[in-house]
């Protein structure tokens, strides 16, 4: 775990953080990424899990919807919020194949998601530790626990293969 979590404003049990099957849930996020890929979208997928149940799913839809905010994380957050009937996603874990950008990291903080698990880092826009870490910024009133590198190679290969095919056309 990174950072000081003394001000985390939710009820997550920090001792239970590593007791979840992160690879299982990341495979669900990868399945979402494959849906994006089938539409010609950048293959990024996300799922939000609460009490070992997926309550939100999302994949990249920027090209399809002509919406720059239609990132996998944003779609999953909206889905989970609708499912719960609440904007606070307490006691939830967000799994995403690519490290969140500044917009998505901000939405994670604003949604009070206590834990983020991501597959591969994003050297161009990653804001969960690569370029900066908005999720553990001490000036915010909420911080998110970050677990990185879960099925990293598989998540990275999805993106690498997609862009290789795109350049080949």
Among 37, 73, 99, 137, the active-site one is: 73
| Global confidence as pTM | 0.88
- Token digits for 157? 């290969």
Q: What is the pLDDT along the chain (169 residues), one digit of tens a residue?
A: 333 333 333 333 443 445 469 999 999 999 999 999 999 999 999 999 999 999 999 999 999 999 999 999 999 999 999 999 999 999 999 999 999 999 999 999 999 999 999 999 999 999 999 999 999 999 999 999 999 999 999 999 999 999 999 888 7
Mark whether 73 is an active-site residue: yes
């Amino acid at each position: 775990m990174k950072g000081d979590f003394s001000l985390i404003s939710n009820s997550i049990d920090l001792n239970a953080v590593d007791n979840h099957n992160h690879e299982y849930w990341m495979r669900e996020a990868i399945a979402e990424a494959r849906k994006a890929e089938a539409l010609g979208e950048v293959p990024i997928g996300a799922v939000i899990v609460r009490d070992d149940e997926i309550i939100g799913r999302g994949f990249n839809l920027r090209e399809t919807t002509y919406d720059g905010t239609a990132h996998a994380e944003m779609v999953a957050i909206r889905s989970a919020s609708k499912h719960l009937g609440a904007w606070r996603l307490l006691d939830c874990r967000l799994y995403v194949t690519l490290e969140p950008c500044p917009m998505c990291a901000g939405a994670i903080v604003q949604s009070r998601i206590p834990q983020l698990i991501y597959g591969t880092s994003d050297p161009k826009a990653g804001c969960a530790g690569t370029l900066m870490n908005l999720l553990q910024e001490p000036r915010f009133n909420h911080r998110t626990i970050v677990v990185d590198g879960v099925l990293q190679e598989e998540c990275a290969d999805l993106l690498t293969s997609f862009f290789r095919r795109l350049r080949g056309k």
